Structures are given as structure tokens and as C-alpha cells.
């Protein structure tokens, strides 16, 4: 089917079609349109990577907008949401991205025609009861198979389905797509179409074993590097999936030693520029920055969650541009930004994060699906390494020819259910205990296991808990009301159990004590404690026990979390005491990207703690100040200076040491502009000078 035919079927879309950049639809896209994917009713499109699912969703969203309604596009990751946002921006519609602070109403979204956000962000927005929800005509659930990991997807489908609002769900091929479609009352289209044929094999004894033959890499480098060298000689890129960050970095370093011999002079010059940008991505390059900068200059790179955002983008862009020939990443990239390459190599199917100790088949299929670039490659190649000859048949049987696992509901998990039930009442989707029972009856769990009674019993138990904690209250005739505390906890998007623990354990203490209490939350992933740190942390616990909550018994499972929270507290204390990022990263064995995540998460948790304390005991100036200290990474005496444009923690400390304060800055700028320029740089000094009028006004106020 030609794309132009869509314009004849739906004239309101004709003005958009020339912006897609292609003329011919893929078979599953054409079939979805013939089946009425752009019409009324729900639709589930299940097909592999690069099969064009997003185009169908985009056409449906544009038709919704043309009909005067809003379209909401949901993705499981911020990076994916941003990618979809950029794709929508080429169309003449008002598209807005919302992926930030959970405790924000984002009122400007009321003006948007297309809203792109993560699942969690939309769920958080609904708790503020925005007026624009009634204007939604279409909700697109991208990567809906992630429902097997995120109960929030199941909850949103239940809450938003019904009426004239349509659901379009996009999924990789899963083992129970018909079951999911039946639950959503959706039309189903399952397709195995690939725009580029895929060849799958196993690498062992320096040979690639395909289903139809063997390719011997005799004369090439040994092991994995032989695959890299073979790909380079054939003129294509290789993407390697490793199971750990350390392995990703090591294999990228080894790849670079081979790749550098295949670079042109022009490519080397461009990679040198990218290398310098990566070195300059932090005020002081860390060992990881230096390592990545060195490796990428050789035409290889690693990619994992320990990179800061600017470094990840630099690596991704260099790979897309063909400058990076070999990219080694952890499995986090499997579900992330689509970076197709001719050859995909899976270093090892053993995986510590899985209960079975092996990759799920679904993860393998997603990784293998990235092989082959439409319009560039005549085929894609997915190759599994790390198994002996005896394991070759297992890979072919269980993975290459294997059936993908079924998606399982995650709703019947008490911590998840606490958050979802409080959110259900706070967002106005339930007002009575009967509404909760109906919600549970409509769940995928009840549909999948044919047992609504168990999930309803769990729901009733959690409802009783939330009432006992003072977040909900029971009225007459089954009416359930949200208390002011319950509404605030729901809006903060934290586990109600976390808020209950804070209320129970809070006492005025030091910043160190507040930080530790916040880090005890189940809402944060804590840093691992290294063996060498255990004795030091035990001593710290003994010396500061008066500031901390009572620790669990050493044999209790929660004791390990308590000690991990203590390490996180030390990291945060170092940050607000203005220790350099280099020193923090080295002292605590943390990667730059992880530090950024910890800072953002702990700032959110301390802010949430401050809000819970205010709702139950009144305002806390100490906690409000601590939130600001975490935000800027400074001691209290710099809080005024760091709020000036262009002034961060380092420049603020220089100014303070020179006797410059917020109150005398205007005078110093007038009398000694050269001194300020020497402290903060000429450009920042000019910004401060331009802003000095505002400083005078704020001083008067």
C-alpha cells in the first residue's frame, strides 16, 4: 500500500503524509490500516523491532488531533519518550514532552495536541486531576509488553479505557498477545515481518555456526575480537551486548585496538573532536571519562547507565553517523534507543538479573531484532557467543527457534498495589470500595488467572492498611475519601509505606540523620557496599547512632539495606559539603551517571520527606534548606550565591572566599568588575552585570 492511499482513505491526514519521508508502507502497517487501526476501537499491534509500529500509532495520533482531540503517547523510558517527541516535532501539531518532576501539574499540557511522556509521569499527572484528561481521544501504549515489569501500565489501561477514548498498544511479539488483546477488547495484528532478513547463529571455536552452514574465521583474531575484525573487513558496524559494565568497558577497549586500523583520516579527525567533548562533559574528567574518550578516539565505545547524559548522546550520535564501528553496551540498551547495526553479538546468555540465571527469550529476540539497517543492509546478523559446542543446540532450540515468554501481570504485588490503590482514589477514578473491587475485576491479573477473588482480597487488605495509616478514610455506604496526607503522598508518587515509615521514625536531627532516613525508602536503588567499606560503615554507625533511626538486627534482611542507605548518606553528605565530584566518585566507587541519578533521587526523596513532615507536623526549615543544599551541592553559606545565573558550587565558593556576597555583589560589580571576571570568567561577569538591576530590586524587597 502506498502512503498516498492513506490520504485518500482519510483526507484529514493528506497534509501530513509528505513529512514521513517514505512512500511505501510495510506489510504490517498496510494490514493494520485495512483492519481499521485508525478507526474507532482498541488495537494491539505486535511485531518485531523496526517493523514500523510507530508509524501506525503516529497516523492514528494525527487523525485524533485532526478530529479535535488530544493524543497521548506513552513510553517506558525517558530516552524513548524524548525520541518519540523529536519524531512528532516534524509535524505541524502542538506537541509537548513531560518526563520531569513527578510532583508537578504541568498545566501547559492543557494547550498541547500531542503529549509524550513516560508511563510513570502520566500516572503522576493523573493524581493532580488535570482538566485536559477529558479531552484525550487516543492513548498510545508503546512497548506494552513492559507490563510484565511495570504494573503502572496495567493500571493505566484499566483507568483510561472505556467511553470514546481509544487505546492503541504496540508490542514486541509476545507469547500471549491474543490473551492481552482479549483483555483490552482490542483487535489484534501479529506480524513476524522484518524489513531486513535476519540470520541467526552461534559463535564457537572461532566459527559462526548458522543454521545452513559454518563460517570459519581462520586467520582472524581469537574469540569475540575475531567477529569484530570480520565485520570491519566486510565494512559494517558491530553492536555487542555484555552483561556487566566492566565487561562492556573491557571489550570496547579491546575492540578499539582493532578498529583504529580501519579508520580513515577524516573519521579519525572527527572522532578526536568527539573524544574532547566527552572529556569536557564534566568539570573535571573522571577515570571513566578518560577511558571512554580514549576508546572512542579509536572508533569503538561503551554504553551503560554509568555515563552522564551528554556522553550517552555523544556515543549514540557517533554510532548513528558510522564513526563508531563497534559499540559495546549493557542490556539496558536493548529496550532503549534503537541503534541498528548489520551485526549484533550477544557476549553471553548467562545473566545475573534473571531468576533462571539466563537471558529471557524475549530479551534475546529484542536484541537480535536490532540487527540489520533498513535501506542499508541486505540482511542482519545476530550471533550468540560464550557457549561451548555442547551449548550450541540449546541456543538454537531455546532461543533462535524458541517461543517468547508470556507477559505476566505484576499488579498482585503489595508494594505496587499500595501505590496504585492510593493513586486510584487520589486521581478520581474510584470513590467507593465497590469501585476498587471493579478495578480489580477488570485487571489483567484477574483475566489471566481467572481468579478475581485473590486480587480483590489483596486490594481490600491494602485499602485497610491505607485507612490505618491515615491516607484514606472510610465513610458511610462504602464511600472512601482521600485525606490531605493521602493526597500529598499520592502526588509525591512515593510508596505509601515509605511515608508511613517516615511518620513513624521522624525526629528532629542533623542533616546526616535526615539524609539517612530519606535513603531508607524503598523508592530508591541504593549503591552496593564494597567489602573494603563494611568495617568503615560499621564504625560510622556506632559513632553517629544518636542521629540515626534504630538499626535492624544484623541478621535481618533489612540490615543490609540500612547499611547501603548509610553509604548513600555518606555520598550525599560529601556532596553537600562541597567535596569535588572526582573525589566522591573515587572514594565511593561510583560512576558519573550513577552519581547524577543518586543526586536527583535523593533530592526528590528529601523533598518528599519535607512535604510529609509538613503535612503531619508542620513546616521544617531544616529540611527545606537541605533540599536546596542537595540541589546545588553546597554548604548553607552559599545558598544565595548559587541562585545567581552562571554561578555553580565552585564559582560560588571562590566568590565567598573573596568576600563577595549576594548583598554586596552589585557594589563590587560597579567598583571592581575585573575582580569578578577573574573569579568567574568574563562571560559570567557580564551576565551578572546585566542582572544587577534585578539584584537591586530583590535587595529592596
| Grid cell in block for residue 164 | 470514546
Query: 269-301 in b/e burial notation, b at 16+ Cβ within 10 A?
Result: eebeebbeebbebbeebbebbebbbebbbbbbb
CA dihedral 193, 199, 200, 201 (to 10 degrees): 170
CA 320/CA 341 separation, integer angstroms: 9
Asked if 3-191 and 198-400 have one fold, the answer is yes
pLDDT at 140 over 70: yes
Helix (H, G, I), strand (E, B) or coil at 343: strand
- DSSP letter for 24, please: B
Q: Tell me the percentage of the chain whose pLDDT exceeds 90.
A: 73
How far is the CA of 464 from the CAs of 155, 377, 474, in angstroms?
20, 58, 9
CA 319/CA 407 separation, integer angstroms: 32
Average pLDDT score over residue span 678-689? 88
pLDDT at 336 over 80: no
pLDDT at 696 over 60: no
CB-count burial class (<10 Å; 0-12, 13-18, 19+) for 541: middle
CATH of domain 198-400: 3.40.50.300
CATH of domain 496-633: 1.10.3380.30
Sign of CA dihedral 27, 32, 34, 38: negative
CA 332/CA 77 separation, integer angstroms: 10
In the chain, domain spans? 3-191, 198-400, 414-474, 496-633, 638-700
- Comparing 307-316, 347-356, 440-449, 541-550, the range with the smallest average pLDDT is 347-356
CA 63/CA 99 separation, integer angstroms: 24
Sequence-separated (6 or more) residues with CB below 8 Å from residue 150: 76, 119, 410
Helix (H, G, I), strand (E, B) or coil at 350: strand
pLDDT at 584 over 70: yes
User: Chain-centre distance of CA 644, in angstroms?
Assistant: 30
Average pLDDT score over residue span 670-691? 88
pLDDT at 698 over 60: no
Q: How many angstroms separate the first and last alpha carbons of the chain?
A: 67
| Topology, domain 638-700 | DNA polymerase; domain 1 (1.10.150)
Query: Using one digit for the tens of pLDDT, what is the confidence trace for 242-267?
Result: 989 999 999 999 999 999 999 999 99
CA 235/CA 247 separation, integer angstroms: 25
> What is the pLDDT at residue 700?
46
CA 515/CA 529 separation, integer angstroms: 17
> What is the pLDDT at residue 313?
92
> What is the pLDDT at residue 135?
95
> What is the pLDDT at residue 491?
95
693 pLDDT band (50/70/90 cuts)? low
Query: Using one digit for the tens of pLDDT, what is the confidence trace for 494-521?
Result: 999 999 999 999 988 899 999 999 999 9
Mean pLDDT of the residues in the chain: 92
Average pLDDT score over residue span 551-573? 93
Query: Using one digit for the tens of pLDDT, what is the confidence trace for 107-131?
Result: 899 999 999 999 999 999 999 999 9
Query: Using one digit for the tens of pLDDT, what is the confidence trace for 453-485?
Result: 999 999 999 999 999 999 999 999 999 999 999
Q: Which of the given ranges, 207-211, 330-334, 435-439, has the highest pLDDT on average? A: 435-439
Query: Using one digit for the tens of pLDDT, what is the confidence trace for 369-398?
Result: 889 988 788 899 999 997 766 688 899 999
Query: Using one digit for the tens of pLDDT, what is the confidence trace for 156-190?
Result: 999 999 888 999 999 987 889 999 999 999 999 99
The DSSP bridge partners found for residue 202 are 209, 384
Helices (H) and strands (E) in the chain, counts: 31, 17
Look up the pTM and report it.
0.91
Q: How many degrees, rounded to 5, is the angle at CA 244 between CA 238 and CA 247? A: 60
> What is the pLDDT at residue 617?
93
CB-count burial class (<10 Å; 0-12, 13-18, 19+) for 422: buried
Helix (H, G, I), strand (E, B) or coil at 92: coil
Name the one residue in this structure whose C-alpha cell is 535501506: 375
pLDDT at 645 over 90: no
Average pLDDT score over residue span 435-458? 94
pLDDT: which is higher, 305 or 635:
635
Name the one residue in this structure whose C-alpha cell is 553492536: 239
| Grid cell in block for residue 32 | 493494520
CATH of domain 3-191: 3.40.50.300
Q: What contacts 24+ positions apart, CB below 8 Å, involve 580-587? A: 580/284, 581/282, 581/283, 581/284, 581/286, 582/284, 582/286, 585/286, 585/287, 585/288, 586/286, 586/287
Q: What contacts 24+ positions apart, CB below 8 Å, involve 559-563? A: 560/529, 561/520, 561/526, 562/520, 563/529, 563/534, 563/537, 563/538
701 pLDDT band (50/70/90 cuts)? very low
> What is the pLDDT at residue 388?
62
pLDDT at 355 over 80: no
Amino acid at each position: 500500500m502506498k502512503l498516498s492511499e492513506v490520504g485518500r482513505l482519510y483526507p484529514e491526514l493528506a497534509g501530513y503524509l509528505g513529512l514521513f519521508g517514505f512512500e511505501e508502507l510495510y506489510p504490517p502497517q498496510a494490514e493494520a490500516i485495512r483492519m481499521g487501526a485508525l478507526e474507532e476501537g482498541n488495537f494491539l499491534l505486535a511485531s518485531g523491532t523496526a517493523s514500523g509500529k510507530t508509524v501506525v500509532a503516529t497516523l492514528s495520533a494525527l487523525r485524533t488531533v485532526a478530529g479535535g482531540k488530544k493524543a497521548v503517547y506513552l513510553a517506558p523510558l525517558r530516552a524513548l519518550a524524548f525520541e518519540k517527541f523529536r519524531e512528532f516535532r516534524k509535524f505541524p501539531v502542538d506537541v509537548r514532552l513531560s518526563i520531569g518532576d513527578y510532583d508537578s501539574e504541568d498545566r501547559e499540557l492543557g494547550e498541547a495536541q500531542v503529549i509524550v511522556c513516560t508511563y510513570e509521569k502520566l500516572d503522576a499527572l493523573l493524581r493532580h486531576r488535570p482538566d485536559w484528561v477529558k479531552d484525550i481521544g487516543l492513548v498510545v501504549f508503546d512497548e506494552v509488553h513492559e507490563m510484565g515489569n511495570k504494573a503502572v501500565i496495567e493500571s493505566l489501561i484499566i483507568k483510561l479505557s472505556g467511553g470514546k477514548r481509544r487505546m492503541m498498544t504496540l508490542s514486541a511479539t509476545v507469547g500471549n498477545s491474543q490473551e492481552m488483546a482479549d483483555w483490552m477488547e482490542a483487535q489484534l495484528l501479529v506480524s513476524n515481518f522484518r524489513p531486513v532478513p535476519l540470520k541467526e547463529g552461534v559463535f564457537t571455536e572461532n566459527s559462526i555456526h548458522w543454521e545452513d552452514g559454518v563460517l570459519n574465521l581462520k586467520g582472524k583474531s581469537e574469540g569475540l575480537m575475531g567477529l569484530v575484525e570480520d565485520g570491519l573487513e566486510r565494512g559494517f558496524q558491530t553492536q555487542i551486548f555484555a552483561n556487566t559494565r566492566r565487561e562492556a568497558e573491557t571489550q570496547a577497549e579491546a575492540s578499539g585496538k582493532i578498529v583504529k586500523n580501519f579508520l580513515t583520516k577524516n573519521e579519525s579527525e572527527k572522532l578526536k573532536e568527539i573524544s574532547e567533548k566527552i572529556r569536557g562533559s564534566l568539570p573535571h574528567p573522571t577515570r571513566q571519562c578518560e577511558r571512554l574518550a580514549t576508546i572512542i578516539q579509536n572508533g569503538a565505545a561503551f554504553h551503560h547507565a554509568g555515563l552522564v547524559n551528554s556522553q550517552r548522546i555523544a556515543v549514540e550520535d557517533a554510532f548513528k553517523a558510522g564513526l563508531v564501528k563497534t559499540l559495546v553496551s549493557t542490556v539496558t540498551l536493548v529496550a532503549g534507543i534503537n541503534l541498528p547495526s548489520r551485526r549484533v553479538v550477544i557476549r553471553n546468555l548467562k545473566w545475573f538479573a534473571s531468576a533462571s540465571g539466563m537471558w529471557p527469550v524475549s530479551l534475546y529476540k529484542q536484541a537480535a531484532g536490532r540487527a540489520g539497517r533498513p535501506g542499508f543492509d541486505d540482511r542482519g546478523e545476530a550471533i550468540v557467543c560464550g557457549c561451548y559446542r555442547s551449548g550450541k543446540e540449546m541456543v538454537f532450540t531455546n532461543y533462535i527457534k524458541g517461543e517468547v515468554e508470556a507477559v505476566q501481570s505484576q499488579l498482585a504485588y503489595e508494594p505496587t498495589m499500595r501505590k496504585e490503590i492510593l493513586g486510584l482514589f487520589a486521581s478520581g477514578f474510584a470513590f467507593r470500595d465497590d469501585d476498587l473491587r471493579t478495578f480489580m475485576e477488570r485487571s489483567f491479573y484477574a483475566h489471566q488467572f481467572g481468579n478475581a477473588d485473590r486480587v480483590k482480597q489483596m486490594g481490600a487488605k491494602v485499602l485497610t492498611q491505607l485507612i490505618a495509616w491515615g491516607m484514606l478514610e472510610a465513610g458511610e455506604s462504602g464511600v472512601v475519601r482521600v485525606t490531605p496526607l493521602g493526597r500529598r503522598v499520592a502526588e509525591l508518587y512515593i510508596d505509601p509505606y515509605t511515608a508511613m515509615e517516615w511518620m513513624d521514625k521522624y525526629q528532629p536531627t542533623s542533616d546526616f540523620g535526615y539524609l539517612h532516613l530519606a535513603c531508607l525508602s524503598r523508592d530508591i536503588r541504593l549503591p552496593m557496599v564494597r567489602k573494603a567499606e563494611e568495617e568503615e560503615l560499621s564504625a560510622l554507625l556506632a559513632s553517629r547512632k544518636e542521629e540515626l533511626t534504630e538499626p535492624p538486627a544484623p541478621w535481618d534482611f533489612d540490615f543490609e539495606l540500612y547499611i547501603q542507605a548509610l553509604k548513600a548518606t555518606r555520598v550525599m553528605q560529601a556532596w553537600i559539603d562541597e567535596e569535588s565530584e572526582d573525589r566522591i566518585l573515587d572514594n565511593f566507587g561510583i560512576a558519573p551517571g550513577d552519581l547524577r541519578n543518586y543526586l536527583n533521587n535523593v533530592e526528590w526523596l528529601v523533598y518528599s520527606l519535607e512535604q510529609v513532615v509538613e503535612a503531619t507536623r508542620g513546616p521544617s526549615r531544616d529540611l527545606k534548606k537541605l533540599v536546596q543544599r542537595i540541589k546545588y551541592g553546597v554548604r548553607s553559606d552559599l545558598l544565595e550565591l548559587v541562585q545567581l545565573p552562571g554561578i555553580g558550587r565552585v564559582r560560588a565558593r571562590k566568590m565567598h572566599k573573596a568576600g563577595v556576597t549576594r548583598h554586596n555583589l552589585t557594589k563590587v560589580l560597579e567598583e571592581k568588575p575585573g575582580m569578578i571576571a577573574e573569579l568567574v570568567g568574563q562571560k559570567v561577569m557580564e551576565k551578572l552585570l546585566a542582572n544587577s538591576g534585578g539584584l537591586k530590586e530583590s535587595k529592596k524587597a
